Structure 1
Amino acid sequence: MIDILVAGGGPAGLAAAIRAAGAGREVVVLEPRAAPVDKACGEGIMPSGVAALQALGVGVAGHDLRGIRYVEGHRSAEATFRGGTGLGVRRTELHAALHRRALELGVRIVPGKAGAVRQDDGSVSTAGLTARWLIAADGLHSPLRRELGLDRPGSAPRRYGLRRHYRVAPWTDFVEVHWSRRGEAYVTPLGDRLVGVAVLSRDRRSYEQHLSFFPALAGALRGLEAGPVRGAGPLRQDARSPRAGRVLLVGDAAGYVDALTGEGIALAMATASAAVACLTADRPEAYPARWARLTRRHRMLTQGLLAAARQPGIARLIVPAAHRLPRVFETAVRALQ
């Protein structure tokens, strides 16, 4: 019997598979798409995520990130990371590197998609495969989360993201977050001549319409060679629990607040490793508490920042406050890194 079946071959699923294979477990990844898979994301990895990739033996090229900068009009505030750098890396490059590492360790990747789940005291089955444990890493709108009855309807306003790449030399080694009353734009350096720009908002508009709310940024990008636009959303997803019997949810499948603080990959690595650690220690019941501890700070800070951004009177004070209180801003950034 397979020790651990992983449903979803994105970063969270491949990280779980790599960790489990490194612990001597037989692992199979169920994934319907051929690697590498592109996705609309900010493509910035926090220092903790970079360290997690290194611990998995995954090397990937990208652009070093020194910190986070908030920008609104002529005001800005920046905070450097402490004890390491982040990394701006194309999603396809990251996925390809994780995929290679999984294959090097003997992980079997099977084309297919998880469907109905059957489980008993000793096994769990889906898509014609049976394992001792199933790790659900099937993304933001996880079909397995719904299948297991773990979806929790959210009441928060829906937010959506759009991302595009531009052929231009990065003008900074910070992730820039540009603020407006309509949302945020995230600029991530990805290579010598590549920059990713993602926009997040509650409004459903075209990418160009969103970008027009950031006049200085739009002016800097005007006329540049640009790639296709990719979208994602709604972003907020809640799960009743990250575990249902012999199924453990990791990454976005276990719940997602927002992309505002840029921790998606770092949290995917952390929760995937925690799930495998609990399984290899034969303590699956410990996973929900570990998941809560790993994600608590992110959830609290992101929810707080989102709540402030929804209030126009408060939102317009975010960048001025960060500018005037640099130590507070630096503390917040380092708490999330």
Structure 2
Amino acid sequence: MGRAAADVDVLVVGAGPVGLAAAVHARAAGLDVLVVDHRAGTLDKACGEGLLPGALRAVQALGADPPGHVLTGISYRAPGRHADHEFTAGPGRGVRRTTLHEALRARAADVGAHRTCGRVTVLRQDAAGVEIEVTPGRADDGHPARDAADGDAGTAGAPITVRGRWLLGCDGLHSAVRRLAGLDVRPGPGAGRGAGRPAGSRYGLRRHFAVTPWTDLVEVHWSPHAEAYVTPVAPDLVGVALLAPRTVTGAGFDTLLRSQFPELAARLSGATATGTVLGAGPLRRRSRRRTAGRVRLVGDASGYVDALTGEGVRVGLAQADAAVRHLEDAEAYERAWRTVTRDYRVLTTGLVAWASGPARGAVVPAAARLPWLYGAVVDRLAR
């Protein structure tokens, strides 16, 4: 049976930084774009909020330049020991996730990408395009025939159908597109409840503290069971992200901070905690492929190792560029995806394996004893 002509050239599901970057690239290629996300307004996420030099340059190349706090390098720290390395490729920037989102959302709107709010519940495709059913919510723009079946942009209603020539799934760790396109890696036979989330699965927690940053470095504090990432994001604000297995993060942010990082907790004891604690996880995600017909998975939706190296934004932005360049060639995108994620996958997998084993306590001492190797890894990831 024939299908109707596409409503747009490219459907982007997910309005985080990666989805918005994909929309900007698609508009630069002369394509009509609709961004769909079940969340309205400015989006936040539990993350380290550090744009390493390569990520900052990629954001600026998109035409956005969000304000924040200069980052000059990374410091690995443990009680009585630390290893510091300053970036050789120029500075990075600590940027609130909400600030980054606002800057990229404004840029996407400026170049003519449309956005609507709704949850994707059905995905169908044929040789000519991809069709999704969206349960609408509040729309961010007044794009005609996109907001709701009856044109009422302010209320939710019955599912609407939208069709595009291509679909980019940029909807994060818990990607609905990955699931609906049949690209999830599922647990094997006999797996019970909770399968796919092994005991060692890592989770993240993040909150902010109103305090003047005491360093221009991203501090990574190591304890026996967790890491704490301290990122200055404004002249009077630092973000603290904690990463650990669920058995550890389940204690809650404050308990985890005090029990695993007493020196850091003491430094922050006089600071006011701002906002709420946000969580994310499990972090490890896999996909069978990054492509299925006219669907492309991009960013965390395509697979994720861990936040330990702080590279998520840079790698996601590189994937967004590659996905748009290779819309017509699935295999070319698969090759490009492997190329732009290779360093991240290899180095992060290796470091997580080291940090999860009996040699975890040697990470910071090794970095301090071998500054040339530590610096080379930092610069490779930050470039």
User: Any idea what SS the aligned residue of 2:350 has?
Assistant: helix
Contact 2:15 2:36 in 1 (8 A): yes
1:195 to 229, 234, 238: 238
- Once the two structures are superposed, the pairs formed by residues 116-265 of structure 1 within 5 Å of their partners are 116-127=122-133, 128-153=161-186, 154=196, 157-202=200-245, 203=248, 204-212=250-258, 213-227=260-274, 228-265=276-313
Contact 2:87 2:379 in 1 (8 A): yes
Distance 1:68 1:330 in 2: 9
Partner of 1:311: 357
User: Any idea what SS the aligned residue of 1:117 has?
Assistant: strand
Contact 1:115 1:144 in 2 (8 A): no
Partner of 1:273: 321
**1:226-276, Cα deviation, whole Å (9 max, x unpaired):** 022111111111111111110001011001111100011111111111101
**1:190-239, Cα deviation, whole Å (9 max, x unpaired):** 01000000100012221112112111101001131102211111111111
Quick check: 1:283 aligned with 2:340?
A: no
Quick check: 1:103 aligned with 2:109?
A: yes
Deviates more, 1:142-151 or 1:124-133: 142-151
2:342 to 296, 300, 324: 296
Distance 2:79 2:107 in 1: 43
Q: How many residues align?
A: 334
Partner of 2:68: 62
Partner of 2:147: none
Distance 1:327 1:142 in 2: 39
Contact 1:151 1:240 in 2 (8 A): yes
User: Any idea what SS the aligned residue of 1:113 has?
Assistant: strand
Deviates more, 1:145-154 or 1:186-195: 145-154
Distance 1:219 1:93 in 2: 28
AA matched with 2:69: H
Identity %: 50
Distance 1:81 1:164 in 2: 26
Residue 155 of structure 1 deviates from its aligned partner by: 7.0
Query: Which structure ranks higher in relative contact order (CA pairs < 8 Å, sequence separation ≥ 6)?
Result: 1
Residue 32 of structure 1 deviates from its aligned partner by: 2.1
AA matched with 1:121: A
Deviates more, 1:148-157 or 1:316-325: 148-157
User: Any idea what SS the aligned residue of 2:121 has?
Assistant: coil
User: Any idea what SS the aligned residue of 1:64 has?
Assistant: strand
**1:132-164, Cα deviation, whole Å (9 max, x unpaired):** 100001111111111122111457621011001
- Give 1 or 2 for the bigger CA radius of gyration: 2
Distance 2:357 2:287 in 1: 26
Contact 1:7 1:113 in 2 (8 A): no
User: Any idea what SS the aligned residue of 1:190 has?
Assistant: strand
Partner of 2:157: none
AA matched with 1:105: V
Contact 1:237 1:257 in 2 (8 A): yes
- Once the two structures are superposed, the pairs formed by residues 11-50 of structure 1 within 5 Å of their partners are 11-50=17-56
Q: Unaligned regions of 5+ residues in structure 2, if any?
A: 1-5, 134-160, 187-195
Distance 1:187 1:78 in 2: 14
Partner of 1:115: 121
Distance 1:93 1:257 in 2: 25
**1:27-73, Cα deviation, whole Å (9 max, x unpaired):** 11111222211111110111111111111101110111111110000
Partner of 1:328: 373
Contact 1:62 1:190 in 2 (8 A): yes
User: Any idea what SS the aligned residue of 2:77 has?
Assistant: strand
Contact 2:74 2:218 in 1 (8 A): yes
AA matched with 1:330: G
- Calculate the aligned-residue CA RMSD, in Å: 1.1
User: Any idea what SS the aligned residue of 2:272 has?
Assistant: coil
User: Any idea what SS the aligned residue of 2:324 has?
Assistant: helix
Distance 2:184 2:346 in 1: 20
Distance 2:218 2:174 in 1: 26
AA matched with 1:294: V
AA matched with 2:86: T
Contact 1:43 1:196 in 2 (8 A): yes
Contact 2:89 2:379 in 1 (8 A): no
User: Any idea what SS the aligned residue of 1:319 has?
Assistant: helix
Q: Unaligned regions of 5+ residues in structure 1, if any?
A: none
